[in-house]
Amino acid sequence: MHTINKLNNTRAIPGLEYRAYRGETDFPAMVEIWNQMRAAGFVEGSYTLEDVAIDFRHLYNCDPFQDMIFAELNGVPAAFGRVMWLQEGPRKVFYQMFHMNPALQDLGIDAPMQEWMEERQLQVAAGLTDKDEKVFIQLCDQEDVHRMRLLESFGYKAVRWYFSMWRDLNELPEVELPEGIEVRPALPSEYHKVWERANEAFSEHWGFVEPREEDYQNWKEGRWFQPMLWQVAWVDGEPVGQVENYVDSVENEKLGRLRGYTEGISVLKAYRGKGIARALIARSLHMLKALNLQEAALTVDSGNASGALRLYESMGYRTYRTTVEWRKPLA
């Protein structure tokens, strides 16, 4: 296996050093690299020290002291990668999260890190006794041509495209609620049930991973958990559809915009085709406008079999960026 020490013994770039994760003292560097990628348009949204701390409190199938690698150039953090695995139905998917200062892409820092991440995941996979199919997986922005070429050179294939969509809050549609549907806020005692129903609605979608209770706690602790903004459809006291709206005030302040997100749009299979999602989205848009916001955004799997992309386009959303999912079988 290519240990980090071996990488340092073979590096050819003056001032470059690869190293392991050192603990919470690395959080500021991770946020800074994220901000550098956002400035280049390769990631979206805000990522704060608090966000990193919450994420790292809820890691699983990942020991950052063994499953992370950092690169520093003349003592300044330049890139970091983290690996983990999840159970995706009948297969195990070995995720690679990689972030790098885009200004340093041409130096060749990232290829050894990619090799290290794969070899670390092969080591982890060798310790698993099951016969499940196993695949590497990595996401990157479609505009990050350098990263996509590197993944291709490592044998990865693009398999899925996720669209970030946007619309302004002018001339909003008016959509009536279907008969028999009640829309009301969820009570704190109902938050978990709403989360469960959303997972049930998404369970047939591509790449669905059965969530754990730890995922719920992670979500509840995050800045994006804003149940006062949700639009939830109820039938006989049971949630059947929802839009988990939120406002990222940190992002809005940094980018000088007034945006709300209409994410987590889901309807239970038995209630689809009745116009529930359309009505909840319309109500969400009007609510965001009443909060003096100027635009709304969401993300969708372009291959969603439920017709979500067509629905969002019919509601005035348009694609403005694309994230590509790359996969490769484990050797």
Non-local CB neighbours of 58 within 8 Å, separated by 6+ positions? 214, 215, 217, 218, 221
| pLDDT band, residue 204 (cuts 50/70/90) | confident
CA atoms of 219 and 224, how far apart (whole Å):
8
Is the model's pLDDT at 3 over the cut of 80? no
Of the chain, the percentage scoring pLDDT greater than 90 comes to 86
Of residues 5 and 257, more confidence is placed in 257
Do 73 and 174 share a domain, yes or no?
A: no
Do 96 and 201 share a domain, yes or no?
A: no
Is the model's pLDDT at 170 over the cut of 70? yes
- List the CATH number of the domain containing 98: 3.40.630.30
Instruction: For 9-64, write each residue's pLDDT tens digit.
Output: 766 788 999 999 999 999 999 999 999 999 998 998 889 999 999 999 999 899 99
Question: What pLDDT, on a 0 to 100 scale, did the predictor assign at position 105?
Answer: 96
Question: What pLDDT, on a 0 to 100 scale, did the predictor assign at position 238?
Answer: 96
Output the six-digit token pair for 174.
């008016």
Instruction: For 232-290, write each residue's pLDDT tens digit.
Output: 999 999 999 999 999 999 999 988 999 999 999 999 999 999 999 999 999 999 999 99
CA torsion 314→319→323→325, rounded to 10°?
Answer: 40
- The answer to whether residue 178 is domain-embedded is yes
Which pTM value belongs to this model?
A: 0.92
Angle at 160 between CA 317 and CA 275, to 5 degrees: 40
Identify the domain containing residue 110 by its residue range.
4-155
Domain finish residue from 136, 155, 174: 155
Three-class DSSP category at 60: coil
Is the model's pLDDT at 156 over the cut of 90? yes
Domain finish residue from 133, 155, 177: 155
Across-strand partners of 58?
Answer: none
- The answer to whether residue 330 is domain-embedded is no
Question: What pLDDT, on a 0 to 100 scale, did the predictor assign at position 44?
Answer: 86
Do 240 and 273 share a domain, yes or no?
A: yes
Do 192 and 316 share a domain, yes or no?
A: yes
CA atoms of 156 and 326, how far apart (whole Å):
6
Do 112 and 256 share a domain, yes or no?
A: no
CA atoms of 138 and 140, how far apart (whole Å):
7
Question: What pLDDT, on a 0 to 100 scale, did the predictor assign at position 2?
Answer: 56
Question: What pLDDT, on a 0 to 100 scale, did the predictor assign at position 305?
Answer: 72
Non-local CB neighbours of 209 within 8 Å, separated by 6+ positions? 86, 87, 88, 93
Question: What pLDDT, on a 0 to 100 scale, did the predictor assign at position 11?
Answer: 66
Do 51 and 182 share a domain, yes or no?
A: no
Question: What pLDDT, on a 0 to 100 scale, did the predictor assign at position 178?
Answer: 94
**Count of domains in the chain?**
2
Non-local CB neighbours of 45 within 8 Å, separated by 6+ positions? 38, 248, 251
Do 170 and 145 share a domain, yes or no?
A: no
Domain finish residue from 155, 174, 205: 155
Do 251 and 198 share a domain, yes or no?
A: yes
- The answer to whether residue 327 is domain-embedded is no
Q: Give the neighbor-by-neighbor strand order of the sheet with 16-19.
A: 16-19, 68-73, 76-88, 91-100, 133-141, 318-329, 157-168, 295-301, 259-267, 238-246, 231-235, 182-183
Across-strand partners of 61?
Answer: none
